[in-house]
Amino acid sequence: MEQTLRPIYQERASFPDTLGVLLVSKRWEGDPLTDTFDEILLIISSSNTIPIQTKHYTDGEEKAALHIISENQLKKWLLLGTKRKVVDWLFYGKVFFDRNEYIEDLKRELHEHPFFGRDLKMGIELAKLVRRYMEGKSFFEQHHYMDAYHHAVQSLHHLARLAVIEKGILPEVTVWSQVKKIDPSIYKLYEELIMSDEAIEKRLELMFLASEFFIHNRTEYGARHILEVMSQKETWRIQELHEHEELKMYSVDLEMLIEFLIEKNIIKVLSIDSKNDFLYHRRYSVID
């Protein structure tokens, strides 16, 4: 299949906006690294017109996927850690073209500074953790135990990623093998939730109680990014927070994180007069 794909990557390498070309081959049948494809052809482009372009090929026996990714999209994925597989592609892929050592420099940067954007990554994981925990606890209190279980597992996953990032390490797809070494207590909590013989109600009760402790211990570090941003001004309207370039990345979890930090006396609410005598605008500020 590699030989069949050669004309494609040779053509792309001739384009002035192509920064690098890599070929990632499957390691075994059904390998998740390549999304079950036999080959992944990854092309990084300096053109940001289209963030992602994908094509699928077959030679009649094997299948391949072509991904053309803009430099901006790649950097966003690396910063947010939302596409860990791309990091694996960079390290496991065979480099066929590397304009001005772009790929080698990128790999070197990831090796030397694996926690680039660590505070932002931690903030996003904290926001996701808070949302999953709060929603799961709400389902639990309403006795919707299966829905509560789903959110509990998701919240522990974000807690695990938060613990890994806090240590300055990039979370891998196999994040639980990392957490087992980094923070065995979180691993134990996860293990008890999914493997215990206790009734699901009891498992969830213990999990939500223990999670409060873990979230409390990581709030200071996890909130560091949003507090640093908010310290740039005395007060913020919610729309201003949503429109901030970095806080945009918190997406739908931003407002729940803000309410959580208000509850923890880390952010305060200011009431500002509005045109309506009976309503006030809410402004938000960091507590000194």
> How many whole angstroms from its chain centre is CA 155?
13
Please spell the DSSP secondary structure of 86-97, one letter per residue. HHHHHHHSEEEE
The yes-or-no verdict on residue 245 having pLDDT over 70 is yes
Task: Note whether 51 and 78 are within 8 A (CB).
Answer: no
Q: What is the reported pLDDT for 117?
A: 77
Domain count, the chain: 3
CATH code for the domain of 183: 1.20.120.330
Q: Are both 18 and 48 inside the same structural domain?
A: yes
pLDDT, mean over the chain: 91
In sequence order, the 6+-apart residues with CB closer than 8 A to the CB of 234 are 285
Q: Are both 231 and 209 inside the same structural domain?
A: no
Angle between helices 175-182 and 184-195 (to 10 degrees): 130
Weakest-pLDDT range from 9-13, 168-172, 189-193, 228-232: 168-172
Q: Are both 177 and 244 inside the same structural domain?
A: no
Given 52, 78, 112, the domain boundary residue is: 112
The yes-or-no verdict on residue 112 having pLDDT over 70 is yes
* Confidence band of 174 (pLDDT split at 50, 70, 90): confident
The mean pLDDT of 26-33, rounded to a whole number, is 83
Structure tokens at 268: 């305060």
In three-state form (DSSP H/G/I as H, E/B as E, the rest C), the secondary structure along the chain is: CHHHHHHHHHHHHCCCCEEEEEEEECCCCCCHHHCCCCEEEEEEECCCCCCEEEEEEECCCCEEEEEEEEHHHHHHHHHHCCCHHHHHHHHHCEEEEEHHHHHHHHHHHHHHCCCCCHHHHHHHHHHHHHHHHHHHHHHHHCCCHHHHHHHHHHHHHHHHHHHHHHCCCCCCCCHHHHHHHHCHHHHHHHHHHHHCCCCHHHHHHHHHHHHHHHHHHHHHHHCHHHHHHHCCCCCECHHHHHHCCCHHHHHHHHHHHHHHHHHCCCEEEEEEECCCCCCEEEEEEECC
The yes-or-no verdict on residue 36 having pLDDT over 90 is no
The mean pLDDT of 133-156, rounded to a whole number, is 97
Given 68, 86, 112, the domain boundary residue is: 112
The yes-or-no verdict on residue 284 having pLDDT over 90 is yes
31: domain range?
A: 2-112
Taking only the tens place, the pLDDT of each residue in 147-164 is 999 999 999 999 999 999
* Confidence band of 115 (pLDDT split at 50, 70, 90): low
Q: Are both 156 and 108 inside the same structural domain?
A: no
Q: Are both 129 and 193 inside the same structural domain?
A: yes
Per the model's pLDDT, the better-predicted residue between 120 and 82 turns out to be 120
Q: What is the reported pLDDT for 257?
A: 97
The Cα 114–Cα 260 span in angstroms is 29
Q: Are both 64 and 158 inside the same structural domain?
A: no
The yes-or-no verdict on residue 172 having pLDDT over 90 is no
CATH code for the domain of 60: 3.30.460.10
Strand ordering across the sheet containing 94-98: 52-58, 63-70, 39-45, 18-25, 94-98
Taking only the tens place, the pLDDT of each residue in 47-86 is 988 899 999 999 988 999 999 999 999 988 887 766 778 8
CATH code for the domain of 248: 1.10.10
Q: What is the reported pLDDT for 76?
A: 82
Q: Are both 34 and 10 inside the same structural domain?
A: yes
Q: Are both 50 and 121 inside the same structural domain?
A: no
Given 112, 128, 160, the domain boundary residue is: 112
Q: Are both 50 and 12 inside the same structural domain?
A: yes
Q: Are both 161 and 64 inside the same structural domain?
A: no
Q: Are both 177 and 256 inside the same structural domain?
A: no
The Cα 121–Cα 128 span in angstroms is 11
Q: Are both 12 and 105 inside the same structural domain?
A: yes
